[in-house]
Structure 1
Amino acid sequence: MACVGVFVAYLPVTTVSVSLPAIQRALDASTAQLSWVSDAFVLPMAALILTAGVFGDAHGRKKVYQAGLALSGLGALVALCAQNIELVWAGQALAGVGSAALLPTTLALISHAVPDPRERGRFIGLWATALTAALALGPLIAGVVLDHFGWRWIYLLPVPASLLAAVCAARLLTDSRAPGSRRLDWPGQTTAALAITALVYGIIEGGATSFTEPKVMVALSTAAVAAVAFVLVERSSADPMLDLSLFRSPAFTATTLIAMISFLGLIGFFFALSLYFGMVQHLSTLDAAWRLLTVTVVPLALGAPVGRLVHRVSSRLLIPGGLLVTSVALLSLTGIDAHTSFGSLAWRLALLGLGLAFVITPMTATAVSSVPYHQAGMAAAGNNAFRQVGGALGPAILGALLSAKAVDALPGHLTDAGLTGATVRQVADVADHDGIGAVAGMNLGADTPRVLTALSDAFLDGLQLCLTVAAVLTLLAAVVGTLLLRRPDHPTPTKPAEHSPKTSETPSPVG
């Protein structure tokens, strides 16, 4: 049930990512609006995951698990019926809240069933494999659907999947709670959600317009103030949502930073690459899906074996090594162009997947084992929360970089293509006001092929910048891992106090 839950939680990530060009064409959406399609899902997931873990500890994890399935299905249903981009955002947001509930409780199910932390590493590997399977199958599902139906039908599968999983959960799962009494930290929740939302909003809108716009400056200032308030609130709280003393552990600090940076690059990469396949190579969604599958099939195949390696090979070798391979893969992708063949692209994408395989599973296991047992739940919840913050920032930051660079480079490429000043100004104005996606829909008669060629070249300039930034951030994360993952994992008992199988009060790695 843990694997089913995380599969449902992550299925919308790549299913929607590869469908963005189709959604853009159907709803006439700008690049900034497309960024919000992804972030409307990831933002509530990042903002509410800690609260969901605490709520499960206090009121029962089975209830939160079932609520997560219900919200995931409801969100998919809303997006399935959407007639405009705003309703798509609403559906994505509901599904994101559902995923926020599912992620901590799926790990709680594993902790409840497998109290031995060494044995648990193997099951966390299976959990990570299910997560990767959702990322891998999402593009294929979207590709098959879009080849035969409209874009809305990509949201059909999560509806019956959530319903069926909820029925199975009602019969198969017993409920559990954390020991003691935990309360929801509303001040911490409010300030965290405000900081995350304001930051992502400011980055998206700043990339679409200008970072000197008043609304953007207000958003970024609000994010900074809310972040400071969150730290102050958590330091003074008797029952904090995230105990800041966790960051005294170098290993926990390292895995938290690595989780945020790696998912920033991964989700942002899927966002940018799906647009590359649609706007530059003009591939169908299914053809794009087969290419994206190359990234995810490697960690899917290696998830369980890496899970077995977690307690045999030092995390300071596994994680920085995987990040170094990921960085090399991202740099190799800067050499692609409009005519890059699948064969030439495949080895680069497979190399990226190989690097991620040695990062995803050890991150959670290391975060849990780097702190005392009674804090293991909060440690894993914090790691997951920062991972989702990175996932929210990925499309925002990389989308803003891509759009800004492409818009800036477009006039030069139009001139190089031999277009006149009037046409260059017309196309540049459309790109400035409506984004580069709007340029692809312009009809300029005989000049249209040259405009599209210039647009592809400008997009590639933006993509290369995104990949370079992602590679540098990943390399920085590898350095952080090398420096901070030096101490041995915090010794944890193999088993908590004896408990009844049906009424276990075992602390879980979810908060």
Structure 2
Amino acid sequence: MSAIASSTSPQPSSSPGTTRNTNVTILLACLGVFASYLPVVGVAVALPVIQQALDASTAGLQWVTDAFILPTAALLLTCGMLGELYGRKKVYLAGLTLFCAGSLVCLTAPGIVLVCVGQALAGVGAAALLPSTLALISHVCPDRRKRARAIALWTASLGLGLTLGPVVNGVIVEHLSWRWIFLPSLVIGVMIVVVGMAFLKESRASRDPHLDVPGQLLAIVAITGLVYGVIEGGSAGWASPAVIAAFLVAGAAFVAFVVVELRSPCPMLDMRLFGSRAFSGAAFVMTVTLFAQVGLVFALSEYFGLVHHASTLDIGIRLLALNGFTVLLGPLVGRLMNRTGPGLLLVTGLVISGIGALCVCFFHASTDTGTAALVIAVLGVGIALAMAPITTIAMNSLPRRLAGTAGAANSALRQIGSALGPAVFGAVLTDRTLATLPAHLAESGLNPADQGQVGGVVAHVGIQAGAFLRLDTPTATERALSAYGASFTDALHMCALVSGIGMLVAAAVALVLIGVRNRSPHDATPEPATA
């Protein structure tokens, strides 16, 4: 970014513009991120139905969600750069168009392959959409206080998409065909495109029209290798040759990326920005927090479904508070950031969410819904207090003219953490359940033959099979299910421990690198040198 001029280009929207235009831009940015996050968790609700309808294999079903995550994470930095060079409005509308096209492909797909293709196309659209929404907000909100409030609304919109997705899709799956779960995103996306074409103002950074092609290619290879390695490691095993190769390629590409960016006259991501304590701290906290949050949500979803035998709609309702508080507390968090500073809210939120995650360690197989909802609410309040400040600190750590890069980096780290969470926590659930199941079976009173049968089914078919065990007698089945529930709950405790410690470590890092003083991190961050 060293070749970037010190001011934005003289576009008509260089100034904040009228209050009406500013509010419309913020609204469209929030609607865009809402639409892009609506299917992230919501599609997972319909996976069992999709598997039955299309006769999909387990591997094919896994790629329904992974096909969305992989291009989103890999292309975020590139799309952020394209928005800065060629116009944020153009990239925003292009991302929405691709997102709608992907939803349409999924809606009409005759087989699992085309569903994955549609998800991948929607993921490319999300990669273009996410950084441009933050860049648009930063451009029309030069005042950091108003920007903080707008980013809080942006975060609330993200949380609203994650919150409503499982519930809406759960209702659709129970009453209609699974195909219709892609219709809400398609309709909302088309409406936003029409309004955006009419009301959005174009803006871009003032810089030479030069793309950092080597840096972009290396970033794509590094992020793709990392995410692919984690995804495959959770299913094929961490010692698989393909997984090891993916991690080696990702590591080599990452080192090469750093070297190329340090030497490039116009880098995609100026590595010197990581010399800022606030930017580095926000980057670390963003990745760890999303890893811990999304991973624990995945583990809790499995717990409610496999141990409590809750329906997909019931699971969505039970997890409603986790992201729901991000929506409810969004405006309050925006005001609090201007009064107390984003650093203080960030540390406070991470501590509360860490405590909430550790409280999951007290769950057992028969924990009632009220107790679980209370713990999830504590976790949700902490996440609500932390998410908007993380994004605000990341955006304020860079000059306003680099808003697209800040938004891209913020979204890329969010997606990487979100991709790592389910894969790692899924491996923990499997390993811990298999390790503790023999002891719980021995304590259950089952005869050795039944113990061997149950252990063999869970080990060879998968831990999900334990929820549907059927033995010769009702008493034996009850004892087997009880042993399985205890083993799975032990695994959940390990996931909660990893999540809680991760969030508390993130709080400590935020306290040291970001601090809690009431100021914008960028106030103390020097401008990158111009070429």
Asked if Structure 1 and Structure 2 have the same fold, meaning a TM-score greater than 0.5 normalized by the shorter chain, the answer is yes
Q: Which residue number corresponds to residue 90 of structure 2?
A: 63
SS of the counterpart of 1:157? helix
Deviation readout 1:462-491 (Å, 9 max, x if unpaired): 211111101111111001001111375345
**Are 1:73 and 2:100 counterparts?**
yes
**Equivalent AA in structure 2 for residue 297 of structure 1:** G
Correspondence for 2:398: 371
1:325·1:354 contact (CA, 8 Å) conserved in 2? yes
Distance (whole Å) between structure 2 residues aligned to residue 280 and residue 69 of structure 1: 39
Moved more, 26-35 or 435-444: 26-35
Show the counterpart of 1:387.
Answer: 414
TM-score (norm 1): 0.89
In structure 2, relative to structure 1, the CA distance for the partners of 1:373 and 1:110 (3 Å cut) is closer
User: Which residue is equivalent to 2:505?
Assistant: 476
Equivalent in the alignment of 1:102: 129
**Corresponding residue for 1:274?**
301
TM-superposed deviation, 1:319: 0.8
- Given the alignment of the two structures, is residue 298 of structure 1 paired with residue 329 of structure 2, yes or no? no
Q: Percent identity?
A: 47
Matches within 5 A, 1:181-200: 181-200=208-227
Match of 1:171 in 2: 198
TM-aligned CA distance change 1:25 to 1:419, over 3 Å: farther
Q: Which residue type is aligned with residue 489 of structure 1?
A: S
* Alignment partners' CA distance in 2, 1:143 and 1:104: 29
Residue in structure 1 matched with residue 496 of structure 2 by the alignment:
467
Q: Distance in 1 between matches of 2:101 and 2:460?
A: 34
Pairs within 5 Å for 1:61-460: 61-82=88-109, 85-441=112-468, 443-446=470-473, 447-460=476-489
Q: Deviations over 1:131-166 (max 9, x none)?
A: 111122112202211221243332221121212221
CA distance in 2, matches of 1:434, 1:28: 17
Q: In structure 2, how many angstroms separate the alpha carbons of the residues matched to 1:448 and 1:377?
A: 57
The answer to whether the 8 A contact 1:35-1:395 is kept is: no
Q: Write the distance in 2 (CA, Å) between the matches of 1:42 and 1:335.
A: 32
Match of 2:520 in 1: 489
**2:202, 2:279 → 1: CA distance?**
29
In 1, distance between residues paired with 2:441 and 2:110? 35
CA distance in 2, matches of 1:65, 1:77: 19
Secondary structure at the aligned position of 2:202 is classed as coil
Q: What is the CA distance between 1:205 and its match in structure 2?
A: 3.0
Equivalenced residues, count? 495
CA contact (8 A) 1:69 1:166 kept: yes
Matching residue's letter, 2:520: D
Contact preservation (8 Å) 1:208, 1:404: no
Output one character per residue of 1:331-383: Cα deviation in whole Å (capped at 9) or x when no partner. 11121223222211121111111111111111121122233444444233222
Q: Structure 1 residues 343 and 442, CA, compared in 2 at 3 Å: closer, same or farther?
A: closer
SS at match of 1:337: coil
Q: Tell me by how many angstroms 1:31 deviates.
A: 7.5
For structure 2, which runs of at least 5 residues remain unmatched after alignment?
1-27, 525-531
Task: Flag the 1:27–1:393 CA change in 2: closer, same or farther, 3 A.
Answer: farther
Relative distance call for 1:242 and 1:336 in structure 2 (3 A) is same
How far is the alpha carbon of 1:29 from its aligned partner? 7.1
Once the two structures are superposed, residues 440-475 of structure 1 have per-residue CA deviations (whole angstroms, 9 ceiling, x without a partner) of 456544354444333322222221111110111111
Quick check: 213-222 or 49-58, which moved more? 213-222
1:253, CA displacement in angstroms? 0.6
Q: Is the 8 A contact 1:39 1:396 kept in 2?
A: no
- Structure 2 match to 1:509: none
| More displaced 10-residue stretch of structure 1: 17-26 or 251-260 | 17-26
C-alpha separation between the residues in 2 aligned to 1:393 and 1:33? 19
- Does the C-alpha gap of structure 1 residues 322 and 351 become closer, same or farther in structure 2, counting only changes over 3 Å? same
Q: Is the 8 A contact 2:290 2:417 kept in 1?
A: yes
Q: Is the 8 A contact 1:35 1:396 kept in 2?
A: no
Superposed displacement of residue 34, structure 1? 5.9
Structure 2: distance between partners of 1:251 and 1:68: 30
Tell me which moved more, 85-94 or 343-352.
85-94
1:271 Cα deviation (Å)?
1.8
Moved more, 303-312 or 85-94: 85-94
Query: 1:264, 1:390 within 8 Å by CA — same for their partners in 2?
Result: yes
CA distance, structure 2, for counterparts of residue 79 and residue 431 of structure 1:
33
State whether residues 74 and 94 of structure 1, in contact with CA within 8 Å, keep that contact through their aligned partners in structure 2. Answer: yes
- Measure, in 2, the Cα distance between the counterparts of 1:334 and 1:32: 31
Runs of 5+ consecutive residues of structure 1 not aligned to the other structure: 494-511
